[in-house]
Amino acid sequence: MKNENSKRISAINAILLTAVSLLSIAAIAIPSAHAASPLLPADQCDAEAGSEHDVQRNLSFRPVATEDIRIGVALSACREAYNQGRGPRQTFQLARVLDAAGQRAQSMAMLEEAVEGNHAAAMVNYAVMIGERGDHAKEFALYQKAAATGNILAAYNLGVAYRDGIGTTANGTLAAQWFERASVAKDSLGAFNLAVLFDEGTLVPENDRKAAQFYKLAADRGNVDAMVNLGLMLENGEGMDADPEAARSMFAMAANKGDAFAQDKIAPQPVDTATTTSIEPSEQASVVLAKSGRIK
């Protein structure tokens, strides 16, 4: 929730689903991978379905966002690579394409097989699915195992699990550690959620300076919510000296990305003379609520 005097909490309170970005798309006709490309099926599968969150992917090819998967070509190539006995990476990629094609049950079966092959990205996505079915203990255990391999998405999800008590006891210190680990790996959501922890001061001691530091880091990485929250901190002098000009600059950045709240902040506001003239100069500062009085 947000208003003129409010900060917003992470929009990602549930476990992040970026790795699979579940789309419900009807399966389409499957052309031959050989006819479309000179690449071997395993290489074609890498090229058509490699995920940016897969640290084991073939770096010879650029990662493919879920919405950009060409389902027909990718499904043909990844199925053929799987049938030729390729490893857990192609099995994970086949699961990813099947999910994009709306074949969720088959996707889950392929993910389970890739998990048995110790594929970290598969562990994260399979954990999300079994978590949706209520097995949070196993979900948490898989995040731990995947995070131990260095998977950034697993580190972020562990932070969420410790923050919200998913499959474990809520622990602000551990949530902060895992969000920071994701942040160090250049994850904007990790930095943003770490800033929120310090900003709210509920699970960890409140620290406005650190909150501003990580909001700035997330904002520099393009996180719009971080831009807005940093703007509010600059506006009200939290963790730093108040700087209305810098605050307006942050709101302008967020506004340029389409954020309605930021657009309202930089738009000229009509002056309600009937209200302002009734406020004594010594009372005007209290019109902006202190952080403790804002809704988060």
How would DSSP label each residue in 192-252? HHHHHHHHH-SSS---HHHHHHHHHHHHHTT-HHHHHHHHHHHHHTSSS---HHHHHHHHH
Residues 172-200 have pLDDT tens digits of 999 999 999 999 999 999 999 999 999 99
- The answer on 16 and 159 residing in a single domain is yes
- The answer on 223 and 136 residing in a single domain is no
CATH of the domain at 249: 1.25.40.10
Beta carbons of 57 and 151 less than 8 angstroms apart: no
Task: Supply the mean pLDDT for the chain.
Answer: 84
CB within 8 Å of 215: residues ≥ 6 apart: 191, 192, 195, 199, 226, 229, 230, 233
Mean pLDDT confidence for 77-99: 94
Q: How confident is the model at residue 272 (pLDDT cuts 50, 70, 90)?
A: low
- The answer on 33 and 160 residing in a single domain is yes
- The answer on 201 and 246 residing in a single domain is yes
DSSP state of 150: T
Mean pLDDT confidence for 65-94: 94
Q: How far is CA 47 from the centre of its chain?
A: 24
Residue 26: its pLDDT value, please?
33
- The answer on 206 and 83 residing in a single domain is no
For residue 32, is pLDDT > 70?
A: no
Q: How confident is the model at residue 233 (pLDDT cuts 50, 70, 90)?
A: very high
For residue 283, is pLDDT > 50?
A: no
Q: Of 120, 140, 170, at which residue does a domain stop?
A: 170
Mean pLDDT confidence for 67-95: 94
More confident residue, 21 or 227: 227
For residue 274, is pLDDT > 60?
A: no
Beta carbons of 211 and 219 less than 8 angstroms apart: no
For residue 82, is pLDDT > 70?
A: yes
For residue 28, is pLDDT > 80?
A: no
Q: What is the dihedral of CA 283, 294, 190, 110, to 10 degrees?
A: -160
CB atoms within 10 A of CB 109: 14
Residues 63-75 have pLDDT tens digits of 999 999 999 999 9
Residue 22: its pLDDT value, please?
37
Residue 37: its pLDDT value, please?
56
Q: Residue 83 domain-assigned?
A: yes
- The answer on 116 and 222 residing in a single domain is no
CATH of the domain at 61: 1.25.40
Q: Residue 165 domain-assigned?
A: yes
CA distance 283 to 285: 6
How many domains in the chain?
2
- The answer on 153 and 81 residing in a single domain is yes
Q: How confident is the model at residue 294 (pLDDT cuts 50, 70, 90)?
A: very low
- The answer on 165 and 49 residing in a single domain is yes
Q: Provide the residue range defining the domain that includes 245.
A: 191-270
Q: Residue 164 domain-assigned?
A: yes
Mean pLDDT confidence for 279-295: 36
